[in-house]
């Protein structure tokens, strides 16, 4: 930006202006003295008439104004030059900063593009990893389902085998009347269930422990012993003497007396032999007449053939009682045993040793309570049935 050059007027006015100013300054004392000596006379050098009017019309400070204007113009030029320099520097700085900003923007866009590319690549990798993770999750779920199915099938097979063993032990206990097979089966099942690591096995284990505690504290009927007593009773029936028998009635007193007589003569010599034969003769005489209390008179009217029928009928009753015993028919067994005891007491010689033994066996077998069945209603079988294994 160039500084303005002030243009001054050319010609007489321009040359006269400084000259007039010097003349005014030098002629000012002379005019003052002339004016003081003669006021009516114009001072020398002063125009008169129209010239004086023209001079009077010109402003006295015109030169100062031009100087002030010149100074102002110079100042304005200097200020304009300074402002132009500052503006140029500012523009240069702004251009430099704009260029730096453009460079930074380009770099930022380049970095953003690179970051976008990296993010896209990472998203692609993440998508691949997510797809693989989904595949792995599906495989894991399939493996878990397979393991659960395998574990369930294994548990089902194990618990089914346990149910079969317990049911078999229960059947053996019911057939034999002894709780030892069932207790042994439950104890072995408890040991096997403790090794199994499953909730269903633990549930069945608690039921097995309850059954064991109940069976060990209960008293089961001894069916094998009762059946053996009935077999012995059936074998004694043919050797029993009926009350209507023509043979001499056997008794404890006669047996004891005969034993004493057999032993006595050996110890006492010939006199004892004679006494023994005398007593034997007297016994033969006494046996010709006997006095017996008969509660049922028809018993004495029984023929030998009817006695045989009585023994066979009693054997059939014993066999029927044995069947009721093995089949757990409590009511039929009690009725058969009452009939057997009544027949032994009414129709046979109760003084006979074999008859007394038969009565003892019958009464012992009658005391068996078939109503008590601790092997029935097992909690373990009920638990297995609730799990869908076995049958209650």
Asked whether the predicted pLDDT for residue 319 surpasses 60, the reply is: yes
pLDDT at 53 over 60: no
pLDDT higher than threshold 70 for residue 181: yes
Q: Using the predicted structure, report yes or no on whether residue 258 has a pLDDT greater than 50.
A: no
Query: Rounded to 5, what percent of the chain is helix, strand, coil?
Result: 75, 0, 20
196-207 confidence digits (pLDDT tens): 777 888 888 888
pLDDT band at 308 (very low <50, low <70, confident <90, very high): confident
pLDDT digit string (tens) for 324-334?
A: 888 878 888 88
Closest to 340 (Cα-Cα) out of 361, 309, 369, 370 = 361
| Domain spans in the chain, listed from the N-terminal domain onward | 133-219+377-386, 225-366
Rounded mean pLDDT of the chain?
75
Tell me whether residue 156 is exposed, middle or buried, using C-beta atoms within 10 angstroms of its C-beta: 0 to 12, 13 to 18, 19 or more.
Answer: middle
DSSP per-residue letters across 175-214: HH--SHHHHHHHHHHHHHHHH--SHHHHHHHHHHHHHHHH
Q: Note the pTM of the prediction, 2 decimals.
A: 0.44
């Amino acid at each position: 930006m160039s500084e303005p050059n002030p243009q001054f007027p050319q010609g007489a006015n321009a040359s006269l202006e400084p000259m007039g100013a010097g003349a005014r300054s030098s002629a000012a004392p002379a005019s003052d003295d002339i004016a003081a000596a003669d006021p009516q006379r114009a001072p020398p050098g002063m125009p008169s008439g129209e010239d004086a009017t023209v001079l009077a019309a010109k402003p006295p400070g015109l030169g100062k104004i031009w100087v002030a204007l010149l100074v102002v113009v110079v100042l304005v030029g200097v200020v304009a030059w300074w402002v132009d320099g500052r503006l140029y520097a500012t523009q240069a700085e702004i251009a430099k900063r704009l260029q730096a900003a453009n460079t930074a923007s380009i770099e930022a866009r380049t970095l953003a593009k690179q970051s976008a590319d990296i993010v896209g690549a990472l998203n692609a990798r993440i998508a691949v990893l997510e797809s693989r993770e989904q595949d792995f999750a599906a495989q894991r779920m399939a493996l878990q389902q397979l393991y659960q199915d395998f574990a369930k099938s294994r548990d089902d097979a194990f618990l089914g085998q346990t149910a079969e063993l317990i049911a078999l032990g229960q059947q053996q206990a019911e057939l034999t009347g002894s709780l030892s097979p069932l207790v042994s089966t439950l104890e072995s099942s408890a040991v096997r269930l403790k090794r199994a690591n499953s909730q269903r096995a633990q549930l069945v284990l608690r039921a097995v422990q309850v059954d064991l505690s109940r069976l060990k504290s209960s008293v089961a009927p001894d069916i094998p012993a009762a059946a053996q007593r009935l077999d012995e009773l059936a074998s004694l029936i043919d050797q029993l003497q009926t009350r209507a028998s023509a043979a001499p009635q056997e008794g404890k007193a006669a047996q004891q007396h005969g034993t004493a007589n057999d032993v006595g003569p050996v110890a006492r010599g010939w006199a004892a032999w004679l006494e023994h034969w005398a007593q034997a003769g007297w016994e033969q005489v006494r046996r010709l007449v006997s006095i017996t209390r008969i509660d049922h008179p028809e018993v004495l009217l029984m023929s030998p053939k009817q006695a045989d029928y009585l023994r066979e009928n009693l054997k059939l009753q014993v066999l029927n009682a044995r069947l009721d015993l093995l089949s757990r028919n409590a009511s039929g067994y009690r009725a058969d045993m009452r009939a057997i005891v009544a027949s032994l007491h009414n129709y046979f010689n109760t003084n006979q040793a074999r008859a007394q033994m038969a009565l003892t066996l019958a009464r012992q077998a009658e005391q068996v309570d078939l109503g008590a069945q601790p092997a029935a209603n097992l909690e373990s079988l009920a638990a297995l049935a609730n799990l869908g294994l076995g049958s209650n």
